[in-house]
């Protein structure tokens, strides 16, 4: 990570700044999902910068000079927390950030130190509530705007949760068997009664490398379980997933059908927003498992 070098280049910005309390609220969010939540809460009165880019792993980050400038001017920095961003304090120091730090995962029930809390819409509701409260502290003059926008978005997340529950109910419980690139969907599978068979990459980090024994073990588990498919993710190469699916004799979902987990997709993709990415993921899984995808309610329809 090049934080130290950029800090020298931006030495004039390294002292703590006092963010403006007029004009649009300026927000820097660490992940694409948190940036999307923040845009929903801030609305047209916000300028939101995401440090992690679409289709980029959430487990590694090298800041650009533009990132540090945006953070130095920000009213609020919104992080996921739970160890996902070990680089964050160095970036704060290099930028001269002097605004309000909001940890979006506060009050989420954590599973085994897993930081991927955003994957469940039920956790997303908690995260959005934390963002509303944090932005109200950062910019009290805009408190009513954040409350109104946030309430409208929370209503959409509730619809998303209800729709997701209905979609998975169309698949018999013993057929909801998930195999992914890496272990990133634990909160999602918990909340929607899905059996997580295992991941291709060991552990919670998508930079891990499986051994030959790891690969053989997951192939054998897939064959024995009756799983219908292996699901790749948009931030991880699908080559190994395709190989394992072929050896296990099941389908592989990759490319445009890959799941969005660590990161949202770019503009114009199905996963450009959190709600869109979740709808995409549910649609891919339910279809792969032979279920029936219900129509989207009016509040979720594009």
pLDDT in tens, 231-255: 999 988 888 899 999 999 999 999 9
What's the pLDDT tens digit per position in 70-127?
999 999 999 999 999 999 999 999 999 999 999 999 999 999 999 999 999 999 999 9
Length of the chain: 302
What does residue 101 show for φ and ψ, rounded to 5 degrees?
-90, 125
pLDDT of residue 11: 40
Q: Name all domains of the chain by residue range, CATH numbers in brackets.
A: 3-144 (3.40.50.1980), 165-288 (3.40.50.1980)
Q: Mind listing the pLDDT tens digit for each residue in 118-170?
A: 999 999 999 999 999 999 999 999 999 999 999 999 999 999 999 999 999 99
Q: What number of CA atoms fall less than 13 Å from residue 178's CA on the CB side?
A: 28
Between CA 140 and CA 52 the distance in angstroms is: 27
CA separation for the pair 32, 57 (Å, rounded): 10
Please list the residues that pair with 233 across neighbouring strands: 259
Give this prediction's pTM: 0.91
From residue 170, alpha-carbon distances to 113, 166, 175, 205 in Å are: 31, 7, 10, 32
Summarize pLDDT for 184-240 with one digit per residue, the tens: 999 999 999 999 998 887 554 555 677 788 889 999 999 999 999 999 999 888 888
Structure tokens at 96: 């001269």
Checking DSSP bridges between strand 46-50 and strand 25-29, what pairing results, if any?
parallel
Pairing mode, if any, of strands 229-231 and 76-79?
A: unpaired
């Amino acid at each position: 990570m090049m934080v130290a070098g950029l800090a020298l280049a931006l030495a004039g910005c390294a002292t703590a700044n006092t963010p403006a309390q007029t004009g649009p609220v300026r927000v820097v969010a660490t992940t694409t999902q948190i940036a999307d939540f923040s845009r929903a809460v801030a609305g047209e009165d916000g300028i939101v910068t995401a440090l992690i880019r679409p289709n980029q792993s959430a487990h590694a980050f090298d800041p650009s000079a533009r990132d540090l400038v945006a953070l130095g001017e920000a009213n609020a920095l919104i992080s996921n927390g739970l160890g996902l961003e070990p680089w964050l304090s160095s970036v704060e120091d290099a930028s001269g950030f002097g605004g309000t730090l909001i940890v979006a995962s506060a009050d989420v029930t954590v599973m085994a130190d897993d930081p991927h809390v955003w994957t469940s819409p039920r956790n997303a509701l908690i995260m959005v509530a934390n963002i509303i409260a944090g932005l109200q502290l950062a910019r009290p003059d805009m408190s009513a705007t954040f409350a109104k926008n946030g309430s409208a978005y929370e209503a959409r997340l509730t619809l998303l949760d209800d729709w997701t529950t209905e979609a998975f109910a169309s698949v018999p419980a013993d057929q909801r068997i998930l195999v992914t690139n890496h272990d990133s969907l634990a909160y999602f599978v918990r909340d929607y009664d899905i059996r997580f068979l295992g991941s291709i990459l060991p552990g919670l980090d998508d930079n891990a490398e499986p051994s030959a024994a790891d690969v053989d073990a997951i192939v054998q588990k897939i064959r024995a379980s009756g799983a219908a498919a292996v699901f790749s993710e948009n931030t991880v190469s699908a080559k190994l997933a395709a190989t394992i699916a072929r050896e296990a004799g099941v389908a592989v979902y990759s490319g445009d059908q890959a799941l969005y987990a660590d990161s949202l997709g770019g503009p114009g993709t199905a996963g450009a927003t959190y709600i869109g990415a979740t709808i995409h993921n549910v649609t891919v899984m339910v279809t792969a498992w032979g279920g029936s995808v219900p129509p989207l309610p009016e509040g979720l329809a594009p």
